[in-house]
Each structure stands twice: as C-alpha cells, then as structure tokens.
Amino acid sequence: MTSLRSRRAMTAIAGLTVAAFALSSCASTEETDAGSDSAGSSGDSASSEPIELTILVDAQETAVQTIEGLGSAFTAQNPNITIELETRPGGDEGDNIVKTRLATDEMTDIFWYNPGALLQALNPSQTLVDLSGEDFMSRVSESFIAGVSDEEGIYGVPGATAMAGGILYNKPIYEELGLSVPLTWDEFMANNAVIEAAGYDPVIQTHGESWSSQLLVLADYHNVEQQQPGWADEFTANEANIASTPAALQGFERLEEVYEAGYMNDDAATATFSDGLSKLALGEGAHYPMLTAVIPDLAAVDGGDVEDIGFFAQPGDSADSNGLTVWLATALYVPQTTEGAQREAALQFLDFVVSADGCDAITEAVGQQGPYFVSDCTSVDENLASPIRDMFPYFEREATTPALEFLSPVKGPALPQITAAVGTGQYSALEGAELYDEDVKKQAQQLGLEGW
Amino acid sequence: MAVISTARKNKNQRHTYSSLNVAKSYPSWFYAPAAIIYAVLFLLPTLLSFFFSLTRWSLFDWQFIGFDNFAQFFSEPFLIQGTLNTVFFAFFTSGTKVVLGMLLAIWLSGAVFAKSYLRAVIFFPVLVSTVGVGITFKALMQPEDGVINASLNFFGIEGPLWLADPGTALFSVALVDVWRGVGIATVIYLAGLAAIPQEYNEAAIVDGAGKLTKFRHITLPLLFPATSTVIILSLIGGLRSFDLIWAMTRGGPGFASDVLASIIFKQYQAGFYGLSTAGNVVLFILVTAIVYPLNRYLNKKEVDY
Amino acid sequence: MKRDTFIFKYLSGIIGIIVTAAIFIVPFVFIFFTAVKDRGQAALREFTLPESFLFFENLIAVIEARDYMLITAFVNSTVLTVASVGGMVIFGAMVAFVLQRRVTRFTGLINALILAGLIIPPAVVPTIWVLQGLNLFKTLHGLIFIEVAFGLAFTILLFRAFISSIPRELDEAAIIDGAGPIKLFFRVIFPLLRSVIATVIILQSITVFNDFQNPLYFLPGDENATVQLTLYNFQSQFNTSFNLLYMNILIITIPMLILFLLFNRRIVSGMTAGAVKG
C-alpha cells in the first residue's frame, strides 16, 4: 500500500517540520537582533554614539506630524539622537494599550499620552520618571503642571497647545439659513430644527469610533462648573456622583435629547471619525461636537475648506455663563524603564520640546492649534485656521474651565461605549449616567483611591 | 473502554512479549513535550484564573476581594447582555451551520454540474482572514450605499441598517460568521456522507423508498456523527467567538454586540485584570455547562444509532 | 427518470453557480475591485468597476507602508504558522499514538484533559502572567508555544481516531524486527498518517495564520506584528486609503489559498477518518 517513494517523502516532510520547530526559537531571536541592527544603522549620523529614541504616539495624523516635526528639528540640533515613531490606535483602545505596555514593562523610551485622569490611571509614581527636578520644567505653565502631577512628582511636558471641546459647525449652512452662533442650549436646539427642515444632518455623531461619542458629555463641564463650582472635588471624594447631580447629568441628557429629536446622521451608529469630518467639511452635516485638536485632520479632507468651519463652546442654560471647556495639551512622558543614556537623551528631547524652538517646530508641523503652555512661546501664529481663531476669544475673556478629567483623577474607561449606547438609544441618559458611576467606582477602586 | 482493556489482555497472552515491552514500545515520555507545553501554558493559567478572579489585580500585586468581581459582573446590565449575546450568537451560528452545511453537502455529493468548483467556492471563505472578512462586510453592510442594501433596493426592498442598528448588529455579525464558517460544516458533512456505505442507498432504492424517506431513515441517522461534530465544534467556536465581532463592531454600537470574549478583552485593556479574569471564569463555566453535557448526550445517542 | 436526473444535475448546478456567485463571489470581487481602484474611488466603498487599474501601484504602496511592515509581518506569520503547526503535528501524533496503543490507568485522565483543552477558553490574563514569568511574553517563540498549547487537543483527537484504524500487526512486525519506539513511530506509523496530517496542516495553518486574538493578547507591539495585527492596525492608518486596505486583505489571503490548492483533495478524506469517527 505504501510505496517506498511516498514513505520517504513523508519522512522528509516530518523531518522538515521538526527542524522548523527546533529552529523557530533561535530564528526569532536572530530576527529581533537583525531588526534592531538595521534600525540602528538607519540613523546615519557620524557621531560616535548614536542614540535612537522610540516614541509611542497616537496614529492620528496630527500627533504623528507633531512628533515627526519635533523629531527632525531636534535631530538637526543633536545629530547623534534620532527619533523613531511607533503608532498606536487612539481612543479607549489606545488608552488600554498604553496601560498594558506600562504594566508589562514594554513601553517605548518616550510616549505621547493625555494628562489628567488618564495619566493618573497609569499609576505614574510607580511607572514614570519624575521630572520635578529638571530645570526645563520652570518654563511650563502652572495650569499644565497641575494636570501632569500627583503628590509625589511631575511627569510630563506639553507636546502641543491647549485645545478645547465644543461644537464645530459648517459656516455656509449657517449663512444659507441665516443662523447665528447659539449661546444657550435652547438656541442650539432651535438652530437644529431649522437645519433639519432644510435637509441637512443637524448633529454629526460617529459612534463607530466611540471616543468621539463622549464630546457632548465632556464638553458640557464648563456648564456643570457654572452651576456647581468645585463639583469635581466632591466627585473625586465620592461625595457626589453624576446620576444624582442634575447639573452633571445634563451632559448625558443633552446627548439623549439630540438622539431622540432624530437630529443625528442615519449612519451615526457605525460612522467613523473620518466619515464625520468629511460630512462636516463637505456640508452634509452642520454640527460636529469635537475637540479642536482635530482641525489639521479637518483641513486635510479632500474637497473641503477649513475656512468654512467655525467653532463655538457647547452652550448651557444661560447666555451669561457661556464659556468653553478646555483640554490640556497631550503630554510626553518618560517611563521608568528608559534608563541610562536613553533616559538622558529622552530628557534632552523633553527640554527641547518646551523651548521656543520646540514650539516653532510644532507650529511648523501642524500649525498653531491654540495657546501654548510654555513661557517662551507667547507669540501667536498669524495663519490660524478659522475654528482656532474662534477659540481665542474665550481665553481672552477667561471664560474657560478645564474638562473634568483634568480636575479629578477618576475617569471610567467605559465612558466612550456608554455614551455611544446613550447616543444610539440603547440606554436613557439616567441609565447611562448610573452605569458610568459604576464604571468610575471600578476605576477608583483599581487605583486604590480613598473613600471608594 | 472496558472493551479496549480486555482486548489488550488477550493480546498479551497470545504473544510472547510481556507488558514490559508494551511500555517500552509505547513509552510514556512520548507524552512529555505536549504535556509540558499544555500544562504550563494552558492548565496552569486555567487553575490560576480561579484564584485571580477573586482579586483586584495589577499584575504586580493583588488584593483578595472575594466574589466582588462576580457581583460586579452580574450587576452591570451590559455584562448580562453580553452573556445573553454570547449564547444567542453561539446557538444561532451553530444551528444555521448544521442545517446549511447538511443541505449543501447532500446537494454537492449528488450529481451536480460544476461540483468541485462549487465545493471550492463554499470552502473558500474559511481561508480568508477573519479581520479581512470583517472589514469587507462592514463596507458591504453600510446602510446607505453598501452593496447589500443597494441590491435590495434594486428589488424594491428597503434593507435593514445592519450594523448601525443596535437591534440587528449582533445578528448581522452572526450572519457573516455563518457565511465564513459554513464551508467547514459542509466539508465535515461531505466526509460523513462519504462514509455511508453505498449498500444502504442501493437497498433503499431497491425497496422503492422515496427521496424524503431515504433522507429521514437512512441519511439523517447515518450522518449523526457528523452532525454532532459540527454542533460541538461550532458551539465551542461560537461561545468563544472574538475575532469577527472585534473586527466588525468592537462590541458596538454601545454594548449591543458585546459578547463575553470582547468584554474580557475590554476589561483586560482597561487594566481591570481581576475583573477580566472573572469574565474568563464566567465564560469557562458557561462553555462547560453547555458543551460538556451536550457532548455526553450526543456520544450516547451516537452509540444508540 | 434519466432525463430528470440530467436536468436536475445541470439546472441545480447552474442555479448553484448563480447563487454562490451572489453570496460568495461578490465579496471577493468587491475586495479585488477596491484593491485596484484609486484612492478617491475606493473611498466611496461602492461596488463599481474600477476606473483605473492600479494593481502594482497599490501593491507597492502597501508593501512599502510603515517601513515595509508587511514584509516583517509576513516573515513573523510564516515562522509562527510553520513552527506551531509543526509542533502540533509531531507532538500531537506522539501523544495520540501512545494514547491509542497503550491503555493505562491514566488514559481516562488524559482523555479528559484533551476534551478540556478543546472546550475550555484559555484564561487570558493569567496566561500573560505566566508568560511574563518565563520571559516569553511579547516574543514570537512564546506565541508559538501558545498556539501549540491551544491547538494540541483538536490535533490529538484527529490523530487518535486515525491511528485506531492502523492495524497493530504493523507495530508488532516492526517490534519483532527490533525497532525501538522512535523508529517504530517515525519510520512505521508517522508515514501512514499522511492523509490526516494533511488535514491537520491545512486546518491548523488556517487557524494559526488567520489568528487575531492570540497575537493581540500575547504579541502586542509593532515590531512583532503578524499579518492579521497589521491589517487591523492599517484600518486607522489607511482610514482614507481603502484601496490599500483591501490590497492588504488580498495579499494576506494568498498563502492560505496556495495551501488550499495543494491540499484541497486531502481535506475530505482526512476528515472522514478523523473528525467524524472521533
């Protein structure tokens, strides 16, 4: 039955598979060696000790361009240090990748990540290098430092300008329908009714990338603080929660209201962030609750013109207290696993980032997106994009409040999904807020905060 | 098993070599490589999971908190929903694969034009990357201008919103899972049909049995081993399903298509390692509670036939 | 009667071709069309004929993306698949052989463990914890061991059923000729397993090569990417270049297609002996 030839062939195959398996472990180590070799030689500096710093950064275009711009300007000054990028997804998925890589000692030399509550969730005193002794920190503004420190140290430098959360709107639609920028939530909903009647999508939502679903809740914080000053501290101490605080619940209710009025685009549940940008830029939708940090992506949409887009703060109950919820700049951190010469080079890079040259490099790479947090960077770029111009007046009249995540270390990781669920009508505003309170509790317990 | 061991005894008596030779020719160390890998990377973590599911865990240190994680798991509505989703997904996909796989196999084992082409086409999706399938169907199922709704429109039917509607998202993913996996079920059934001795069919024809009678009394019972294989394998796969759901919806919109495997992943990513492990234990219990008794029942029935 | 059969044969075949074309072929044509379109047309994600045929341009663009990431990923996925499936075949066949041939008081326990391996979902975080302790976390060989550990149960079941159909007399003849266990297994038994080996190779290669979940958990990070992780990450990278995204899908399907064409005929025969009897 078994001819000699096929038997021999089978033995040969068996031998091959055995050999392949035996080789695999050494093959893979060889491979990583080869990988780092080739990467090392790509930094073609003539300097004696070339150093390569790897930075983990959000895959978003702006973030990548910022770091690339900073990197090449820095390498021009320090030819022996090259900057390599590694990208990760944004949003909740990205948060979790950062957490996991820190927890497993697999972090890159430097990484790009949010300040505030998201930073606190990283357990910074155990995982990140304390920068409080570094001279360059004196150039960083106090308000920023508040967002990147805890009792034990300061951990980050601003890698961008301040940004804000609010409503991006399509100006041609506003002009066509004779609308004006709303100062109260009621005016906003009245505008939506007119926009709807004219056949445009009043509010663009993109729950397919659920980080973008959070904006109506997060950007409402200025309004919460107007009604209940200092609420964030009560929240942190577990003395107040969202479901039982009417002012805080309002953000969820506004999301629900927009959904129930049918003001969202039909494909809101699966649309992605880039779908949302093009809907706004091409005038299919009028409002997109968003962060101003996305303006460069918006400017890159084919067939759109960023000068057609304006920006206003998420309106609240009263026109008098109208103001803007602001986000601290995304920061750069050095994990404790970066040691020796790598750490020295990393600190040198951070020093550069918070210098006038650093700010210029950022402005050159992505344009100025708002005020810088660095004392040497006071000049305002002349070529601000339209939505960014709309942002400065709020800073000038000091009608700004930091978002809750910069005032309190607790932020539940499931907020994106919960807001997406409320925004698609699966949960009511109250149910969503209750779920989120539970989620916050889980996070606070995991962090070991007092009072939870 | 009793049968096997007596057979061995007889054999030993019949031959001159002793049981020592049996141990020598079939040495226990043949188990060793597989046993070490399996014990360290599968059994040990499984046992550890029972302990760590009772802790708040940061990978560096842990704090024993009793059954809090499980209480948490069953107090959050979306976790309960995720458990129900898991069961629905598994039973729907498994049942559909059984029915479609059997029908396709019976059809393709008969005299059909272009048989081998059809077999290959149905099996082909099995080969394609799950992530790739997810990305592709996300585009095909777009509510406004996706191919599926565009074609339905052509026939004057207004298609559902598929993934964009929380009510149909999970069902849509399940349909794609059937599309992707029915090829395997068909192949198992084809193998089962090939194993049916030709005499049975000939006898049935001689007896003048109709097609339906033949199917009910000959094909269906003789295909039972194949059916139970398809049921068990697709149920296990369905209950543990992750790749396709993650590639298509990541559990969304909101929590509408979350299953246990995606919840475990999210809790893991969020750094709730204890809670994630508790989710693993819940999944373990669910899978075992469904598959183990079913497997016993099917085996018993198989012997009856 | 004969005429009916004839009509049935062709009619059902032709209807089958049309229906399968709509259900099974259209998605692949969609992938192919989108993969060769230009960026603007691909962004519409519509089922239309490509206005331009940019096969090679898009192919090169995908391969060059992110410093030839796809090449690295292909090397990794190939090493992963070959090594772990090789491990499953050798180690699984060894277990199945002894398990089927020699009954001891542990046989029941071993069978139970195999069934457990098939049923129980792996405990993710504890596995990571163990891998970290062994310095295997985030390494390719660590992932190889993981795939072997998770794939062994199914492999052993297929092999065991098949080995039971090999007559013991063959073993006995070889033993009388003075063959030791290694010679008996690798020279006598293993070559007889070829049809079931083909089944195992194709099924497990598909599983491992297309695996997304385990690399996601146990091999995070760019430099160790597998083709599936690369594809997943390209989604955000290429969110405006769908042509490149679909070109990526097209490329990574080719290895499994080749495998399928090589082993196609063996699948059903191996299944007959293995899965159904098992």
Q: What CATH number should be reported for the domain holding residue A195?
A: 3.40.190.10
- All residues of chain C having their beta carbon less than 8 Å from the beta carbon of residue B112 are 9, 12-13, 16
Domain residue extents for chain B: 77-304
Same structural domain, A141 and A192: no
- What digits encode the pLDDT tens for the residues C19-63? 888 888 899 999 999 999 988 888 777 888 888 888 899 999 888
What band does A303 get if pLDDT is binned at 50, 70 and 90? Answer: confident
Residue at A385 is within a domain: no
Q: Note whether B272 and A440 are within 8 A (CB).
A: no
The reply to whether A301 and A334 lie within a common domain is no
Query: Looking at the structure, do residues A217 and A284 belong to the same domain, yes or no?
Result: yes
- Cβ-Cβ contacts under 8 Å, B56 against chain C: none
Asked whether residue A218 falls in the same domain as residue A294, the answer is: yes
Structural domain harbouring A224: 165-326+393-447
Within a domain: residue A33?
Answer: no
For residue C76, list chain A residues with Cβ-Cβ distance below 8 A. Answer: 31
Q: Determine, yes or no, domain membership for A108.
A: yes
pLDDT at residue C240 in the model: 67
Could you read off the pLDDT of B269-292 as tens digits, one per residue? 888 899 999 999 999 999 999 999
C225 Rama sector, left if φ>0, alpha if ψ -120 to 50, beta otherwise: beta
Cβ of residue A103 closer than 8 Å to a chain B Cβ: yes
Q: Which of A33-47, A377-391, C64-78 is predicted least confidently? A: A33-47
With CB atoms and an 8 Å threshold, state whether B144 touches A208. no
> Is residue A144 located within the same domain as residue A88?
yes
Who wins on pLDDT, B58 or B7?
Answer: B58
Q: What is the pLDDT of residue C223?
A: 63
Q: Is A40 within a domain?
A: no
Mean pLDDT of all residues in B246-255: 89
* Residue A92 touches partner B, C-beta closer than 8 Å: yes
Q: Are residues A90 and A224 in the same domain?
A: no
Q: Please give the radius of gyration of chain A, using alpha carbons only, rounded to the nearest integer.
A: 25
Is residue A207 one of the residues assigned to a domain?
A: yes
Q: Which residue of B has its CA nearest to C232?
A: B131
Share of chain C above pLDDT 70, in %: 91
Is A419 a member of any domain?
yes
Distance from CA of B166 to the nearest CA of C (A): 22
Query: How far is residue C61 from each of residues A154, A328, C69, C245, measured CA to CA in Å?
Result: 42, 36, 11, 10
The answer on A300 and A430 residing in a single domain is yes
A275 to chain C, closest Cα gap in Å: 9
CB A311, CB A280: distance < 8 Å: no
Minimal C-alpha gap between A238 and chain B (Å):
18
Question: B192 to chain C, minimum CA–CA distance in Å?
Answer: 6
Identify whether the C-beta of residue A97 lies closer than 8 Å to the C-beta of residue A88. Answer: yes
Same domain, A409 and A280: yes
Q: Which residues of A touch C186 (CB under 8 A)?
A: 11, 14
CA torsion A215→A219→A224→A226, rounded to 10°? Answer: -170
pLDDT given for residue A429 in this prediction: 96
Helix crossing, B68-75 with A429-447: angle to 10°?
160
Tens-digit pLDDT profile for residues B190-236: 888 887 887 777 777 777 777 788 788 888 888 888 899 899 999 99
Cα–Cα dist A155/A159, whole Å: 13
By CA distance, what is B59's nearest residue in A? A103
With 60 as the cut, is the pLDDT of residue A203 above it?
A: yes
Average pLDDT for chain A: 85
Q: How many CB pairs under 8 A join A and B?
A: 111
Which CATH architecture does the domain made up of C67-276 adopt?
Answer: Orthogonal Bundle (1.10)
Per the structure, how many domains does chain A have? 2
Q: Which residues contact C228 (CB under 8 A, 6 or more apart)?
A: B129, B130, B131, C77, C210, C211, C212, C215, C252
| Helices B273-304, C124-133: crossing angle, 10 deg rounding | 110
On the 0-12 / 13-18 / 19+ scale of CB atoms within 10 A, A408 is buried
Chain C CB within 8 Å of residue B36 CB: no
What does the pLDDT average to over A164-179? 95
CB pair distance less than 8 Å for C127 and B41:
yes
Amino acid residing at C248: N
Instruction: Using CB atoms, list chains with 3+ pairs below 8 Å to chain A.
Output: B, C
Among chain A, residues having any CB pair with chain C shorter than 8 Å are: 2, 6-7, 10-11, 13-14, 16-18, 20-21, 23-25, 27-29, 31-32, 35, 59, 86-87, 89-90, 97, 100-101, 104, 106, 272-274, 302
CA distance A90 to A73: 25
Q: Label residue A92 by pLDDT band (50, 70, 90).
A: low
Q: Given a cut of 80, is residue C270 above it in pLDDT?
A: no
Closest CA to A54 of A125, A112, A93: A112
List of residues 6+ apart from A341 with CB closer than 8 A: A49, A51
CATH topology (fold) of B77-304: MetI-like fold (1.10.3720)
From residue C183, alpha-carbon distances to A14, A44, C169, C187, C191 in Å are 13, 55, 16, 5, 11
CB contact under 8 A, A418 and B251: no
Nearest to A307 by CA among A410, A390, A238, A217: A390
The answer to whether residue A379 is domain-embedded is no
Distance of CA A29 to the CA centre of its chain: 35
Mean pLDDT of all residues in A253-257:
96
- The overall average pLDDT reported for chain C is 87
Question: Does some domain include residue A20?
Answer: no
CB contact under 8 A, C82 and A24: yes
Which residues of chain A does C222 touch, with a Cβ-Cβ cutoff of 8 Å?
86-87
Distance from the Cα of B131 to chain A's closest Cα (Å) equals 16
- Closest CA relative to residue A168, chosen from A251, A290, A263, A277: A290
- Among the residue ranges B2-11, B121-130, B138-147, the one predicted with the least confidence is B2-11
Given a contact cutoff of 8 angstroms between Cβ atoms, the answer to whether B252 and C84 are in contact is no
Contact B128 C278 (CB under 8 A): no
Q: Tokens at residue A391, please? A: 């942002």
Rounded to whole angstroms, the Cα distance separating A310 from A283 reads 12
| C90, C199, C271: best to mutate for the B interface, most B CBs within 10 A | C271
**One-letter identity of residue C19:** V
Residue among C10, C33, C46, C119 with most chain B CBs within 10 A, to mutate: C119
Contact A31, C140 (CB under 8 A): yes
In B231-270, the residues whose Cβ lies within 8 Å of chain C are: 233, 236, 239-240, 242-243, 246-247, 261, 264-265, 268
Q: What integer is the mean pLDDT of C104-112? A: 91
CA A26/CA C166 separation, integer angstroms? 36
CB burial string B203-234: b at 16+ within 10 A, e below:
ebeeeebeeeebeeebbeebbbbbbbbbbbbb
Same domain? A239 vs A308: yes
Q: Cα dihedral sign for C100, C104, C108, C113?
A: negative
B100 token code pair: 């479609």
What is the reported pLDDT for B6?
A: 28
